[in-house]
Structure 1
């Protein structure tokens, strides 16, 4: 995993603690008793379909909204009773780049430095870090989407926040810009920063997150590492393809629990996707002198997890 878990006196320290979090707008309950814990120096990703309550969660945790009930501690500070202390430890990058198009990139950073009462000398370093030095004196109106997102994140880093909330940081970016943003996020976490990430891209959570939680209709329906969540979903199998019908017939007799596809000359054999079960399967074929032309292992991915937990496919995932 990409995150670096912080250890304090032999114990894992906690950056964010949430217990019994509830929030409603009118008669609509958006968050219905959320409990979660985020370890320092890790990436925690919150997934969920449209209307699940992810952005509301981020807004409460970052002190932009007040919860109806429950407790939230960020960097050890209660966001209800001591919001100023919590804000001093965090940075927030929202779904849309919060940059001023009338200013240059450098001017945006200098403005944020003034607001955070930070030394302007940090600006040059951030411009270099995010590969924006050449465009520093150019109006942000001319920036690409990827450049705006990088500038937005650079502005978030002013004041050296130790906890950063990223709400869909790569939405709308091209693949190259997404990869660049991933590298920046990994670099931040390697330096001990904690990332709370919402994303509409399941592969992003799979690549980056140390732990993932799935939010649906205001409730957490699952939490764990990517591997742990995938193991909860049945459907792992080995696909064996054969050169001819005779080999397929022989294999089907040896493996009666397999699903046969005559058009493709293949069998799908249920399994756990592990090396031991794969070795046993291939040994069975070898012992009966049956040779597969090719094989592949299929295990559930986060799309399968999301569909099983929420009843909705990945195409409907958006962070709200």
Structure 2
């Protein structure tokens, strides 16, 4: 009887140990199924309307909105005046860099930007919410900012005044404390939004770093279709990128601006550059912003969703 009881207890201990081991291994990711991003279920994006940032060519007006929110405000202090001055300078560096990169693909590109607070491309706003928020980034919905643009910025007048076909909107925030959320964009990707305005939401300081010309250029490229190359497609907004593709980019696109906004020293240490942009813009990003119709081999190799510009251009040709 005693031996039988010990046998039962022993079996129970072994069974419980096995269960705990399986749970541990499952949580460790060993048995996890490969993530299949939602975007990978389709091969193309069929949008005939790409919003206020349709094609990265021609004349483009850049509206800068310096906005207060629940995380911080812009004051009249010398410190904030310097930050705003930096932003004007960084935006100009970003647009000059994009214009130069476009030339390499035979694209004519010209931006008009705000150079100071008195510019009719510069606005001040206040929003009664936390604007730099990861959930807003996931939902790609910013109703307060859209309504502000709709009610306060005469976009059609700006396009006529500056002879621009497109207008993009950069909202800059000044959090009192470093925000864990990062800059993000709200753009036409695989669906038409409630409003046509495509917007970059950019805090001055975030995630142990701060804004730079490369950050602004990176976010602006998102508005025209460029995907992040540093992370997989978790929320069906990044052309079906996978962990395998991110690993490929780590090896082949290490200095690509959609992979990193940092520079690296000879030891591989990352650092920010504030007086120029030292990153590359490679064929994969050129393809996704519509600068080239040549589909890079990696798109097919990794099963990425095709550029939204492919269908958009076909539709334009069909209707012209």
TM-score greater than 0.5 by the shorter chain:
no
Q: Which TM-score band (shorter chain)? A: under 0.3
- Please state which structure has a larger fraction of its residues in strand: 1
Give the structure-2-normalised TM-score: 0.25
